[in-house]
Structure 1
Amino acid sequence: MRVLTHFLLASVMTAPMTISPAQAAPADATIAYPRTEAQPLVEEQFGVKVADPYRWLENDVREDARVRDWVTAQNKVTDAYLATLPARATFARRLTELFNYERVSPPVKRGGRYFYARNDGLQNQAVLNVRDRVDGPARVLIDPNGWAKDGATALAEWRPSDDGRYLVYAVQDGGTDWRTVRVLDVETGKDLPDSVEWVKFSNLDWAKDGSGFFYSRFPQPASGGKFQALNENQQVYFHRLGTPQSEDRLVYRTPDRPRLNHIAEVSDDGKWLIITSSEGTDDRYEITLVDLSRPDAQPRTLIKGLEHSWNYVGNQGSRFLWTTNKGAPRLKIVALDIAEANPVARDIVPEDKATLGGASVIGGVLIASYLVDAKTEVRRYRPDGTLIGKVALPGIGTAAGFGGKADDPETFFAFTSFATPTTVFRYDARSDTAQVWAQPRLTFKPEDFKVEQRFFASKDGTQVPMFIVRRKDVTGPAPTLMYGYGGFNISNTPAFSAGRLAWIEQGGAFALVNLRGGGEYGKAWHDAGRLLNKQNVFDDFIAAGEYLIREGVTGKGQLAIQGGSNGGLLVGAVTNQRPDLFAAALPAVGVMDMLRFDRFTAGRYWVDDYGYPSKEADFRNLLTYSPYHNVRSGTDYPAVLVTTADTDDRVVPGHSFKYVSALQAAAIGPRPHLIRIETRAGHGAGKPTDKIIAETADQWAFIARWTGLTVR
């Protein structure tokens, strides 16, 4: 399956040769793809001549008319093809019904008020509500659904002040990662004149007295570089209410280390600003403290070296609790006394066989959330680390939340599973009692579906877990959608998806694979799927597909695959390596050019997982699996529907534009190889509900056609 790639790598050791994304071929016999100009651009790196004929498609669609025309032409062809699929309307109708249920976030309690987001079902954006008591009537604070005619302007991050008087919130327009930050008076529901720009990848946290808030921002990019320029020189500022941004106080910066990011949060007692600095996506942080009680206080670096993860849990005076992977690949909870000149970490809750996800102190109880084979388990400890017991959960699934105050036992958590939409529980940490606070009414019966967890052997023998979800009456081989991510220490856990349920209801199966590269089993699991080990992720996914066919869950010609972002890379890579295994592929907002990913916006952060294209060993490894550079002419490919968006400034759409151009230019069989490009949307966050429904209906109709799913 990888003979061509291996041949190229072996050859470049002795002589330079040209690596081309695809060989020219006649257009598909049934689909007239738009003509895409292939330019004679070839660059040599480490003795390898790499062709990049479609680099011009990296240009910003808002700035380059040729790229804009190309997008229009591609969408026209894709829309015409999708219009021929009869299942499209059926899926759109059922998805609309399934999405029409109440979705509520766990509330944040401040000053006796309860702040939470709610979507009544088909609203394009969630609405921020507040209650003045836990069981009181709700009042709408912010409804972003009127902010834009297309519903594509969203409420992003938000945080109430400690006394519940003010709310700082961020506005996300058209899916971009950039934020505009504003402040609301909670009592009147009216905005203050305060406004902050050029905020991205930032926490928002209030000073204890409510006089203002801390945030992180980048310098204003040069004209035309807003959606493509590298993000460097992030700085922490304090904005005092009632003043213009030009007067904001610079709190922390590292001009000699422009690649560092800085996230600021205020300690539980309000006396310290905790700045967590990182250079990439790996969990390796430096921790800096600023004494907020002294206006002239200089930043004090508490943890140096970017060697381990350190996540603040809480503090009592100078005793700070952290989760860390220092000496604990599956993490542990430790205490540092910052009053000491050289604080030494002391174990509070040692490393366990389960993977520690996070911790909080609520009402004097230390609550820790673990992953046990990718399923949530929540444990309770005394402040000294003595185990009290476990929090009873409604079943096997995913629980999240447990935020609040160290002296207040009231907290909230959300629980979900594959057939269980999110339910919010009110929990008393001292009495260990929970009651339902918000639960949606359903238009389906969860008991009609079966969830299994299985383990299979990957290529090297590693046991990898996978969840399989089907209707209970579906027992034989069925058209199956297999999803994976496998990167950046991100864990995939059981969660409800109205979109996936629409596929499963029709008799299809769904499989979620917990690939190496994720965080399900701690640092070792992550390390086993990144850098020079990245091929393990692809081997795991391929082995999962082979297992599903071998075990009769699905049949040959019935398997579709899906992944987004790093998962889009996964889908692109395995499609090149094993095109015979899959009937259809859905790579979304994928990282497809592994030799240039670090040149745009947030791409520079990803070197922690992918390596540096400028370093020879990494370059040669990246070249073995880069989806754009390894399209294999002369081999029949599955049907491919690429999805991206014009305002994606996380993984710039040029990745997908170049990749689909390589597919369309190659002799890879008669199945369609199309791209669907959303307008006024980004990497995923903030996408309106109607656009999610329309895109999902297109994807399911596409893979139903090529896996043989009979849609009722």
Structure 2
Amino acid sequence: MCLAAAIVCLLLGAEHVRSNEETPMTYPETKKVDLTEEHFGTAIADPYRWLENDLKEDRAVAQWVDAQNTVTSRYTASLPGRDAFRDRLTALFNHEQLTSPLKRGGDYFFTRNTGLDMQPVLVVRDGENGAERTILDPNQWSEDGTKALAVWAPSEDGKLVAYAIQENGSDWRPIRVLDVQSGAVLADEIAWARFTMIAWMADGSGFFYARSPEPDDSGRSDAQVVNHAVYFHRLGTEQSEDRLIHSPAAEHPLLHTVDITADGRFLVIYSTALMGGSALSVVDLSASEWQVRPVIERFDHLSTLVGNVGTKLYVLTADGAEQGKIVTGDLAAQDLVFTDLIEEKPGAYLRLASLVGDKLLLSYMVDARIEVERYELDGKAAGAVNLPEAGSAGTFSGRPGDNEAFFTFTNYATPKTVYRYDVNANEATLWAGPDGLIGADSSPGDIEVEQSFFSARDGTLIPISIIRRAAAKAAAPTMLTAYGGFGIPLLPAYSPQAVAWVQEGGVYAVANIRGGGEYGKAWHEAGKGQAKKTVFDDFIAAAEFLKHEGISSEGGLAIHGESHGGMLVGAVVNQRPDLFDVALPGVGVMDMLRFDRFTAGNLWISEFGSPSAEDSFNYLRSYSPLHNIKTGEDYPAILVTTADTDDRVVPAHSLKYVATLQAAQVGPRPQLLRVERNAGHGDGTPNQKIIDEYADRWSFAAHWTGLW
């Protein structure tokens, strides 16, 4: 331990004296303040509110975090499996990773990480079989890899690339412009871009983007998402001259993202209040006056522009079809009316759709796996696209009239692989990807994936994927995860972290609980708002299934989840501390009574309900991880992870939660906090930081489940 860390420990009373499981932990001393507020006749104590202060600005908070990190790092350094997990994770990360290429001006743009690069680089290939060269290398932007390439978009002729820079994982991302041929970065610079995409004018004269107003002196991390708006930036001009395109007044705060139709004629604007869908507007860029024309004005269902042929729009929507359908409408008509083209498919949720070549390619989710169907533009069925095996296919990136498209494929045993798709031949061929599990003592054939279904409390059947070594049927320490929020599905995807746990002899399980989007809108609605406790019940049922079926060993059940999943982990531990042996909540929303006061939290009201409304407040209080810790009960071993620059789910959630746990006398097992420095909510985190974090998390879980 370094001298500086030792001094911090002495100042704050931190002492790590644990040498075995019977020795109690001694945690840093945590100041308590006398702060109680009344909400709807209920007194709510908040003794650790001072931990809401920005730890980069408040010295007392920073010292407390340093002391917690010191205790945690000393503890994890003593774990016997830590080095083994780090080595295994390093080997599993060490394979080439590419994104689907975008074809612009005859050239192909994509990102590549050769394996252990801190950050992926942006590459251009000259034509189909030409030379490749790196045009942006974020690994040169900072010594520690904490600057990353965020969203990027090449101009239609492929001569320019507009790109956003993410620093320390922040959601605030400045935009710059690169001359592809010369490598020069233009003088244009956009500040305060946040939750944005980039869409070029067809002539390359400028691009559209979305941003928030410049934050005030309270600091970027504290700035809420308000007045998000779409702008057009013309190259060679100052940002102050950017043209405001769309900033509608609305009952709820809105986020806007932008796109351009393949013919360059229409700007597409999606506006969401995170209510399970998005409104859709277009701007006819060929008109002398740019007018925003609403196409879909509701926010409570999914609406996506699949493509257009002239003024005829093809739209994926859940309006009137919870499983999704394709409708068409003509912008040439004064009153835009949509008619059904492809009706919803029973038992399948239409998640994505693309118009490439002269076909519509529809990606359906069936029992948490992707199946792709082809249709003619008149809606006539044209067969299926044969995927390599059961798993997940990403968006087919291609253009109307172009016979070539690309998509990625992955599953729990196969790293992401890029395929080229011939539209006319209906044939996919390998374009780029690793050969199995590179650098590890396993191949895809050594990993077995079995999908089962368990019964929820109300009898609903819920899919769960069990990943383990082939032919390993004996009960083993098991890591269970889920998400269960915002309509986001968990689809089969390769994870070095999951495979590392399995290769060490464990079982990894993914439960597709309600609140996600695995079966469409109804699946989400069943775990949203006043039905949020269904999410927790489903997760508990998944854990009980693993034990009842003899999959998880006795005393060997660990759970992890991140963001909404972190909140899920905290909530179920409070409800059933006896059921779990280890809990790993990451970047979780833990204070459900104040979540709407920070950064993007005001956007989550549609998912959780508002703490300012009495009925929602009472419901939120009944499961809030921070407010339902059971003093005096034996809790599982808990390692909470967050990051100092997380300006989406601010670290205060985790800090206050851990302070409350440590003061609550919840048994002899440890309750530890790990705060990553110069990192955020997850996006843009350097590979080495990811490896180090999961080496700590997995070795902690392995120790307390008996895997190590």
Q: Please, what TM-score do these two structures have when normalized by structure 1?
A: 0.94
Question: Which residue pairs with 1:312 in the alignment?
Answer: 305
The equivalent position to 1:537 in structure 2, one of 535, 538, 543, is: 535
The equivalent position to 1:408 in structure 2, one of 402, 409, 423, is: 402
Question: Which residue pairs with 1:261 in the alignment?
Answer: 255
Question: Residue 342 of structure 2 contacts residue 379 of structure 2 at CA under 8 Å; is this kept in 1?
Answer: yes
AA aligned to 2:465 is F
Question: Which residue pairs with 1:40 in the alignment?
Answer: 34
SS at match of 1:460: coil
Q: CA deviation at 1:136?
A: 2.2
Matches within 5 A, 1:64-83: 64-83=58-77
Counterparts of 1:291 and 1:383, CA distance in 2: 22
Question: Which residue pairs with 2:127 in the alignment?
Answer: 133
Question: Which residue pairs with 2:315 in the alignment?
Answer: 322
Question: Which residue pairs with 1:89 in the alignment?
Answer: 83
Counterparts of 1:103 and 1:705, CA distance in 2: 31
Q: CA deviation at 1:352?
A: 1.0
SS at match of 1:385: coil
Q: Deviations over 1:366-387 (max 9, x none)?
A: 0011111000101110001111
Question: Residue 602 of structure 1 contacts residue 651 of structure 1 at CA under 8 Å; is this kept in 2?
Answer: yes
Q: Deviations over 1:431-476 (max 9, x none)?
A: 1111111121323311111100000101111111000001014211
SS at match of 1:664: helix
Matches within 5 A, 1:137-216: 137-216=131-210
Q: Deviations over 1:553-589 (max 9, x none)?
A: 0123100000000000000000000010111000000
Counterparts of 2:208 and 2:324, CA distance in 1: 28
Question: Residue 645 of structure 1 contacts residue 681 of structure 1 at CA under 8 Å; is this kept in 2?
Answer: yes
Question: Residue 233 of structure 1 contacts residue 258 of structure 1 at CA under 8 Å; is this kept in 2?
Answer: no
AA aligned to 2:337 is V
Q: Deviations over 1:498-536 (max 9, x none)?
A: 111111001100000001000000000000011111111
Counterparts of 1:263 and 1:410, CA distance in 2: 26
Q: Deviations over 1:328-383 (max 9, x none)?
A: 11111111112222222111111112001111111111001111100010111000
Question: Residue 234 of structure 1 contacts residue 258 of structure 1 at CA under 8 Å; is this kept in 2?
Answer: no
Question: Residue 585 of structure 2 contacts residue 639 of structure 2 at CA under 8 Å; is this kept in 1?
Answer: yes
The equivalent position to 1:515 in structure 2, one of 493, 513, 516, is: 513
Q: Deviations over 1:107-159 (max 9, x none)?
A: 11111100011000100000110101222221101010011111010000001
Q: CA deviation at 1:256?
A: 6.6
Q: Decide which moves more: 331-340 or 483-492.
A: 331-340
Q: Deviations over 1:77-125 (max 9, x none)?
A: 1111111101101111111111111111111111110001100010000
Counterparts of 1:148 and 1:257, CA distance in 2: 41
Q: Deviations over 1:583-633 (max 9, x none)?
A: 100000000000000111111111111011111111111111100000001
Which runs of structure 1 show a deviation greater than 3 angstroms over 4 or more consecutive aligned residues?
255-258
Are 2:417 and 1:423 aligned?
yes
Q: Decide which moves more: 242-251 or 191-200.
A: 242-251
Between the two proteins, the alignment pairs up a number of residues equal to: 683
Distance change >3 Å, CA 256–CA 411, structure 1 → 2: closer
Question: Residue 106 of structure 1 contacts residue 401 of structure 1 at CA under 8 Å; is this kept in 2?
Answer: no
Question: Residue 63 of structure 1 contacts residue 224 of structure 1 at CA under 8 Å; is this kept in 2?
Answer: no
Question: Which residue pairs with 2:638 in the alignment?
Answer: 640
SS at match of 2:678: coil
Matches within 5 A, 1:321-340: 321-340=314-333
Counterparts of 1:295 and 1:318, CA distance in 2: 17
Q: Please, what TM-score do these two structures have when normalized by structure 2?
A: 0.95
Are 2:586 and 1:588 aligned?
yes
Question: Residue 225 of structure 2 contacts residue 603 of structure 2 at CA under 8 Å; is this kept in 1?
Answer: no
Q: Which has the higher contact order (CA 8 A, sep 6+)?
A: 1
Counterparts of 1:284 and 1:258, CA distance in 2: 13
Q: CA deviation at 1:29?
A: 5.4
Matches within 5 A, 1:344-355: 344-353=337-346, 354-355=348-349
Counterparts of 1:308 and 1:90, CA distance in 2: 46
Question: Residue 160 of structure 2 contacts residue 180 of structure 2 at CA under 8 Å; is this kept in 1?
Answer: yes
Are 2:235 and 1:241 aligned?
yes
The equivalent position to 1:115 in structure 2, one of 82, 106, 109, is: 109
Counterparts of 1:685 and 1:260, CA distance in 2: 21
Q: CA deviation at 1:300?
A: 2.4
Superposed CA RMSD in Å reads 1.3
Q: Deviations over 1:142-196 (max 9, x none)?
A: 0100111110100000011111111111000000001110111111222111110
SS at match of 2:552: coil
Counterparts of 2:502 and 2:493, CA distance in 1: 14
AA aligned to 2:338 is A
Question: Residue 483 of structure 2 contacts residue 561 of structure 2 at CA under 8 Å; is this kept in 1?
Answer: yes
Counterparts of 2:485 and 2:252, CA distance in 1: 25
Are 2:685 and 1:692 aligned?
no
SS at match of 1:681: coil
Q: CA deviation at 1:655?
A: 0.2
Question: Which residue pairs with 1:528 in the alignment?
Answer: 526
Counterparts of 1:583 and 1:423, CA distance in 2: 36
Q: Deviations over 1:255-292 (max 9, x none)?
A: 576822222222232222222222x2123333332221
AA aligned to 1:539 is D
Counterparts of 1:70 and 1:411, CA distance in 2: 52
Identity of aligned residues (%): 52
Counterparts of 1:166 and 1:482, CA distance in 2: 44
Matches within 5 A, 1:542-691: 542-691=540-689
Distance change >3 Å, CA 378–CA 158, structure 1 → 2: same
SS at match of 1:216: strand
Are 2:28 and 1:31 aligned?
no
Counterparts of 1:679 and 1:705, CA distance in 2: 25
SS at match of 1:694: helix
Question: Residue 475 of structure 2 contacts residue 550 of structure 2 at CA under 8 Å; is this kept in 1?
Answer: yes
Counterparts of 2:186 and 2:31, CA distance in 1: 51
Counterparts of 2:586 and 2:251, CA distance in 1: 33
Matches within 5 A, 1:359-438: 359-438=353-432
Q: Deviations over 1:20-55 (max 9, x none)?
A: xxxxxxx99522100111111111111111111111
AA aligned to 2:525 is D
Counterparts of 1:117 and 1:53, CA distance in 2: 47
Counterparts of 2:448 and 2:341, CA distance in 1: 39
SS at match of 1:643: strand
Counterparts of 1:425 and 1:265, CA distance in 2: 24
Counterparts of 1:268 and 1:162, CA distance in 2: 9
Counterparts of 1:252 and 1:445, CA distance in 2: 50
Question: Residue 354 of structure 2 contacts residue 395 of structure 2 at CA under 8 Å; is this kept in 1?
Answer: no
Counterparts of 2:268 and 2:97, CA distance in 1: 32
Question: Residue 267 of structure 1 contacts residue 273 of structure 1 at CA under 8 Å; is this kept in 2?
Answer: yes
Gap regions ≥5 residues in structure 2: 1-17
Question: Residue 557 of structure 1 contacts residue 581 of structure 1 at CA under 8 Å; is this kept in 2?
Answer: no
